[in-house]
Structure 1
Amino acid sequence: MLIPKNLYYTRNHLWLRKIGSYDFCVGITDFAQKEIGEIGLIEFNVKRDIIEKEASWGVVYGINDTFPLLSPCKCKIISINTFLHKKPSHINTDPYNYWFLTISTSASENEFLTREEYIQLIR
């Protein structure tokens, strides 16, 4: 199972890649995509630009499981990757290059899990 060192993680199996001082790309981990199975549909349920920590912003539907997408922190949504509507199963082949959202937050990286902490979580 692939768990890159240069990312942050959440207990809800999201990864975050820092792309600026306060900005991150957000996607699901390799562990999550394997649990979900082949992904057939991703629904983004974003009603506001600002979302609170743990607020639902979408759902991933796979052949094995349905996976709720919960905000990793209080953040502002910058963009949504609508390309995934056309071919959501791309996440199964390369989960760390297909992101769902880009967000901006003042949350500290200390609020997220390190690679080592995430490995302990999924064991």
Structure 2
Amino acid sequence: MSDLPSELRYTKTHEWVKDNGDGTLTVGITDHAQEALGDIVFVEAPEAGRALDAEEACAVVESVKAASDIYSPLAGEVIEANATLTDTPDAINTSPYGDGWIFRIAPADMSALDALLDAAAYEKVVEDEA
């Protein structure tokens, strides 16, 4: 998993979080998660304006194999859902850390980002699951 972006933070439930540098965060699922799911055919992202608690199930990603809940890594308010996933949900398969992002959030407490896993700690979580 050497291609894991080191600038991102991660959760044990396989979400990644990018600090956008403007008080907002972008959230998606990791390459490991999309690979485990297989071909993604549908994404239900949370709507803008929705308040989320940390670790709350807030989105669903469906593949040909299974449906999987996506959890909010931090408490806050959804500011944008990735509308392109409606027509091209497979963007998560082809670009999990790029065009395949799922939603953006304005966190209630930005310092909570520090409690998430760094790339090395996330790699250990994946290795321990194997």
TM-score (norm 1): 0.92
Q: Distance in 1 between matches of 2:110 and 2:71?
A: 15
Over the matched positions of the two proteins, sequence identity in percent amounts to: 30
Superposed CA RMSD in Å reads: 1.6
**Consecutive unaligned residues in structure 2, runs of 5 or more:** none
Counterpart code for 2:125: L
Q: Is the 8 A contact 1:46 1:58 kept in 2?
A: no
Could you list the per-position Cα deviations for residues 81-119 of structure 1 after superposition, in whole angstroms to 9, with x for gaps in the alignment?
111010101111110002111111114222210001000
Paired positions, count? 123
Q: Distance in 2 between matches of 1:77 and 1:68?
A: 16
Counterpart code for 1:36: L
2:106 to 101, 104, 119: 104
Counterpart code for 2:10: Y
TM-score (norm 2): 0.87
Q: Distance in 2 between matches of 1:62 and 1:84?
A: 13
Question: Match for residue 124 of structure 2?
Answer: 120
Q: CA distance change for structure 1 residues 25 and 50 in 2, over 3 Å: closer, same or farther?
A: same
Q: CA distance change for structure 1 residues 84 and 47 in 2, over 3 Å: closer, same or farther?
A: closer
The structural deviation recorded for 1:47 is 8.5
Q: Is the 8 A contact 1:42 1:61 kept in 2?
A: yes
Q: Distance in 2 between matches of 1:71 and 1:43?
A: 13
Counterpart code for 1:122: V
